[in-house]
Amino acid sequence: MTLKPSRIFQAARLFHRQGATGYALKLVSQLSPKTPEEFRIAGNIYLDSYEYTDALKCFQGYFESKPDPAEAKQVRIALCDAWCGLERFSDALRELRNIRPDSADRTLKGVLLRAEGGCLARRGHAEEACPVLMRAFDFFSREEQTPEMALVHQWLGYAKAAMQRDEGVDPEIEAHFLKATLFLRKSGTSPESWLECWYRMHEMGYLGEGQRIQMSVYPGLPTRFVGRPGFLDRVLVGNPSAPIRIDPYRNEYEWNGERRTEIPSELKLLACLRLAGEWGVSLARVKTVLRPDLGVDDIAFFGKMEPTVFELLERLEKNYGVGIGLENGVLRLSAASRNAIGVEYSRSKHFGLGLDPRVKDHRV
């Protein structure tokens, strides 16, 4: 049964919220939005996928489709994020400074200052960005640990680090970055959100090599995200003498000293979990990584993949002695299991752990 476009947009929004951004992106890229809601859904998915040109087109289409004025201010801020991604900073700043919040809307005032300060920091105007971001703190509770407060810390750390680029690591600046990462993760935002903070830390010399590896190999990240300078092309993740070694690039694996070809499905899943490390990975994102070939006609199948994933998990526990936990929709390897697995990560195979695309039902 073919779904109506409106239903497909709703499905894309749900998958995006669950962490399956890759599949959500594929869905919206095959549709043409018509309503304000569809333009907003597609724009947000493109924005979080670092597809700034398409995000900009969708947000501009949103404003041409007679949207709800109460919602439009937040979408204008997202539009400015897209402009910043395209390095059209003057357009972004002009738009931000034309948004007029209600006198009683303190949160929006703080968000606008955060957005303006972040834009200035990305533009390279660190000295101008710092006082703007410091003013943003006045509109939030110092105790709150929200994504907006996280972004204030992120861009303030970034701007201060830019002004002290040659002076080494400053503990006060590092604390801003660490708070930003902590708040984003506690808020349940996508991995792209807090790994973006890590990328900004990397740009300023505040990210260790181990963290750089973690940032580079996390499964299911958008192609444009991992395509930036600083991301690793190939690296071994885990113990080089681990009893289980998986090489998706060569489609080979080693188990207890015996090298074999054709990685079985359960070990493709294991590779995904190992690359996710101690953070774990959402069940929805696992499905996207395992089946990157799914399209608009596979929405119902996507929802039926859980039996496949759970059967693969049972195989891992039974045949390989792997310990795996599932909590709040996130799959995570035990520490002992992480130490027993090594994965030869290759950026060219970032979405290439897929199960056989010819298999169209939920059986293994």
Q: Look at residue 14 in the predicted model and tell me its pLDDT.
A: 94
Q: Look at residue 247 in the predicted model and tell me its pLDDT.
A: 92
Mean predicted lDDT score pLDDT of the chain:
90
Q: Look at residue 357 in the predicted model and tell me its pLDDT.
A: 34
- Which of 93-102, 103-112, 253-262, 340-349 is predicted with the least confidence, judged by mean pLDDT? 340-349
292-303 pLDDT, tens digit each: 888 898 998 998
Q: Give the start-to-end residue ranges of the domains of the chain.
A: 235-349
The angle that helices 21-29 and 36-48 make with each other, rounded to 10 degrees, is 130
CA distance 225 to 4: 31
Question: What's the rounded mean pLDDT across residues 116-143?
Answer: 95
Percent of the chain at pLDDT > 90 equals 74
Whole-model pTM: value is 0.90
Question: What's the rounded mean pLDDT across residues 249-265?
Answer: 90
Q: Look at residue 46 in the predicted model and tell me its pLDDT.
A: 97
Q: Is the pLDDT of residue 350 over 80?
A: no
Per-residue exposure over 152-166, b if at least 16 CB sit within 10 Å of its own CB, e if not:
bbbbbbbbbbbeeee
Q: Is the pLDDT of residue 353 over 70?
A: no
Q: Look at residue 124 in the predicted model and tell me its pLDDT.
A: 96
| CATH class of the 235-349 domain in this structure | mainly alpha
Quick one: pLDDT band at residue 360, thresholds 50, 70, 90? very low
307-325 pLDDT, tens digit each: 999 999 999 999 999 999 9
Q: Is the pLDDT of residue 53 over 90?
A: yes
Q: Look at residue 356 in the predicted model and tell me its pLDDT.
A: 35
Give the residue with greater pLDDT, 277 vs 166: 277
Q: Look at residue 355 in the predicted model and tell me its pLDDT.
A: 39
148-181 pLDDT, tens digit each: 999 999 999 999 999 998 888 899 999 999 999 9
Q: Look at residue 349 in the predicted model and tell me its pLDDT.
A: 61
Of 77, 169, 158, the closest CA to residue 124 belongs to 158
Q: Look at residue 2 in the predicted model and tell me its pLDDT.
A: 74
Give the residue with greater pLDDT, 331 vs 257: 331
Percent of the chain at pLDDT > 70 equals 95
- Which of 40-54, 125-139, 296-310 is predicted with the least confidence, judged by mean pLDDT? 296-310
Q: Look at residue 68 in the predicted model and tell me its pLDDT.
A: 85
